[in-house]
Chains A and B, each alone.
Chain A
Amino acid sequence: MRTRSVVGRLALVAFLAAVLAFWALPMLWLVTAPFDSQPGLDVSWPDWTLANFQKLSENPYAFSSLQNSVYLAVGTMLGVTALAALAAYSLSRVRIPGRNGILYGLLLLSSIVTGTAAMVPIFQLMFQLNLIDDRSGVILVLTGGLLPAAIFILKDFMDATPKSYEESARVFGASPTQVLRHVVLPIVRPGLATIAVWALVNVWSDFLTAYILLRDPAKIPAGVVMYTFYSEGGQANLPLISAFSLVYALPVVALYLFVNRRYGFRFHGGIKS
């Protein structure tokens, strides 16, 4: 029994070491290369410098692409959160004819019509609408794509909040608009925050939609611009790519740390699925 537990302990440590190595090793480059005076593809102790960030700040497309990413992410986040909240509230509280059908359809749609399966018709549609190379077009496509899941999650959330507050507000003569703004909105704020963060991270990471819908280098977001950082000789411009990757990754890391500290980043036991 005793030897068995020692062996078990050793196996556990070996497993954890392997796990750490497997996940950490590919990521190390993101921490070392940006600060190396001559970054290669390998991970090595850097010859410390901030010159790469200097080069990055001189690149005309690095900053504009981050601005574009912010524009796309915030635009989509606002659209998804607002429209999903209104739809989810109505679907949760009012028996609109065909409600169950709508919900069932949304759940199916959100998993079936994915960016990759629909890239051809979406490209085609945007081409016909003259929205190729238009950032608002990207926001519309991303919003449409994220809405079904957002409505579904928010509706579950709203179903779980009590109706009694709204009812008492009504009893005291509040109008529906007042009830929505002063009673419902504060109650569902955590749910809205979840959807907002989820939409932000999704769009910030998006590659495919922007890649197929935008052409002008001044309009493309950060995820796509990385693939244009090549030197004249066709070699990857590592000083630029490494510094840019770090800057592009930081908001996600910061958001993760914030959410993790504030709410804990895990699914809770009562998860439906």
Chain B
Amino acid sequence: MTATADRKVRSNREAGARAGGPVDSIDAAGLGRARAAGLVAPALVLVLAFLVVPAAWTVYLGVTDYRLTGIQAANPEFVGLDNFTAALADPDFRNSLWLTLLFVLGSAIVGQTVAGFALAWTLRTVPKLVRSVVETLVLLAWILPSSIVAFLWVAYLSGDGGTLNAMLQTSGTEWLLEHPMASIIVFNTWRGTAFSMLLFSAALGAVPPSQLESARLAGAGAFAQLRDVVLPHIRGHVLTNTLLISLWTFNDFSPYLLTAGGPNHASETLPVFIYNKALYGGQLGYGSAISFIMLLINLVIALFYVRLLRERR
């Protein structure tokens, strides 16, 4: 880092000296620190206002009994850690935490990782046309607006003439009401596999074909090849992928569009729980305490991720 910077300084000095210009500039375009800071400032102000302030505000609101309406709306009182102890004692919150864990485990760590890897692995060898058709479908599921895909799944799983029932001959099964968690887990696997597929495709592209070839010549089966040749090469990618998709799935709001957390809290993951409690139910203080717990969990995942990035640089 410093070595590069020093070299930059030196070459700039030389350039400046040759041109007879100012010698004090250390940057290529000759911005100078003050102007550079001025260019960074607008972005930082926005980030500060709409990310840092809200994060800090979560902490403040979380220790008050703030509500959307009523007396507590006018002058909220400091209640200390009451919201947090209330949350830990709230069966709905514990239920929601458990459902979120299931959702992340089922749809991200198992569903998207396995489907993404299986797709990346098999699509290497299939004809180009098949490959691009499959990739396009998987990618569209990922990039289409969430309102549309949510409605597509509501229609697909509907008990009133939905396509899934027509195919399985299970007429009248309301999947979203009878199996809400399974439904949103399958939905999110469908929705998010594209990222894992792309990442593993790139990772597999970096595995030297010669090593795979020699393993095959040595009589290694597909499983042995995967375990002994491929896995050591892509271990870092697997970890990166797991952390990122866990983070995104943990913060995903689309279950709300499918089940709104119901029936009777049966699919109320944390983001939906916060929405229902704070913005729908008006308990802003309590909702903020839960948000703060969410921020902490995000922080833990993000710290792992950043450490991983630093190690690889």
If A91-B40, A96-B40, A204-B145 touch, does A271 touch B202 (CB 8 Å cutoff)? yes
B192 to chain A, nearest CB (A): 12
The reply to whether B237 and A30 contact each other, CB–CB distance below 8 Å, is: no
B6 to chain A, nearest CB (A): 11
A6 to chain B, nearest CB (A): 15
Is A234's beta carbon under 8 Å from chain B? no
- Closest chain B residue, CB of each to CB of A15: B122
Which residue of B140, B153, B294 is within 8 Å of A117 (Cβ)? B294
The answer for the CA separation of A29 and B161 in the assembled complex, in Å, is 12
The answer for the CA separation of A193 and B269 in the assembled complex, in Å, is 35
Is B305's beta carbon under 8 Å from chain A? yes
The reply to whether B58 and A120 contact each other, CB–CB distance below 8 Å, is: yes
- Name which of B87-95, B102-110, B223-231, B246-254 contacts chain A: B246-254
Contacts of A43 in B (CB 8 A): 163
Is A170's beta carbon under 8 Å from chain B? yes
B248 to chain A, nearest CB (A): 8
The answer for the CA separation of A90 and B38 in the assembled complex, in Å, is 9
Contacts of B79 in A (CB 8 A): none
Interface SS of chain A: helix
Most chain B CB neighbours (cut-off 10 Å) among A111, A117, A207:
A117
CB within 8 Å of B: which of A15-41? 15-16, 19-20, 22-30, 33, 40-41
The answer for the CA separation of A79 and B35 in the assembled complex, in Å, is 19
The answer for the CA separation of A136 and B214 in the assembled complex, in Å, is 60
The reply to whether A95 and B15 contact each other, CB–CB distance below 8 Å, is: no
A109 to chain B, nearest CB (A): 5
The reply to whether B26 and A94 contact each other, CB–CB distance below 8 Å, is: yes
Which residue of B40, B144, B275 is within 8 Å of A249 (Cβ)? B144
Contacts of A90 in B (CB 8 A): 31, 35-37, 39-40
**How extensive is the interface on chain B, given as a class?**
35 or more
- Closest chain A residue, CB of each to CB of B58: A121
Most chain A CB neighbours (cut-off 10 Å) among B18, B30, B49, B141:
B30
Is A151's beta carbon under 8 Å from chain B? yes
Contacts of B19 in A (CB 8 A): 170-173
The reply to whether B26 and A95 contact each other, CB–CB distance below 8 Å, is: yes
The reply to whether B145 and A115 contact each other, CB–CB distance below 8 Å, is: no
Is B86's beta carbon under 8 Å from chain A? no
A-B contact count, CB below 8 Å?
317
Q: Mark B22-56, 1 if CB is under 8 A from A, else 0.
A: 00001111111101110110111011011111110
Per the CB 8 Å criterion, the residue count for chain A at the interface is 102
The reply to whether B303 and A108 contact each other, CB–CB distance below 8 Å, is: yes
Contacts of B270 in A (CB 8 A): 116
The reply to whether B11 and A167 contact each other, CB–CB distance below 8 Å, is: yes
Which residue of B37, B50, B201 is within 8 Å of A145 (Cβ)? B50
The reply to whether A140 and B298 contact each other, CB–CB distance below 8 Å, is: no
If A12-B122, A19-B119, A23-B134 touch, does A93 touch B46 (CB 8 Å cutoff)? no
- Closest chain A residue, CB of each to CB of B35: A176
Known: A94-B26, A143-B50, A272-B312. 19 other contacts (CB 8 A): A12-B126, A16-B134, A28-B163, A41-B158, A42-B162, A83-B42, A90-B40, A112-B55, A112-B295, A118-B55, A120-B291, A171-B18, A172-B19, A176-B29, A176-B31, A184-B29, A207-B147, A268-B202, A269-B206
A-B complex: 10 closest residue pairs judged by Cβ atoms: A144-B50, A116-B271, A94-B36, A166-B28, A90-B36, A121-B57, A121-B54, A87-B43, A163-B28, A205-B145
Interface set of B (CB-CB < 8 Å, partner A)? 5, 8, 11-12, 15-16, 18-19, 21, 26-33, 35-37, 39-40, 42-44, 46-47, 49-55, 57-58, 61, 118-119, 122, 125-126, 130, 133-141, 143-149, 151-156, 158, 160-164, 166-167, 190, 198-199, 201-202, 205-206, 237, 240, 244, 247, 251-254, 257, 270-271, 274-275, 278-279, 284, 287-288, 291, 294-295, 298-299, 301-303, 305-306, 309, 312-313
Interface set of A (CB-CB < 8 Å, partner B)? 12, 15-16, 19-20, 22-30, 33, 40-43, 79, 83-84, 86-87, 89-91, 93-97, 102, 104, 106-109, 111-125, 140-141, 143-145, 147-148, 151, 163, 166-167, 169-173, 175-176, 179-180, 183-184, 201, 204-205, 207-208, 212, 222-224, 226-227, 241, 245, 248-249, 252-253, 256, 260, 265-269, 271-273
Q: 13 A-B residue contacts at CB 8 Å?
A: A16-B134, A22-B190, A24-B137, A26-B141, A26-B149, A43-B163, A83-B42, A94-B32, A118-B54, A118-B295, A143-B50, A212-B275, A222-B147
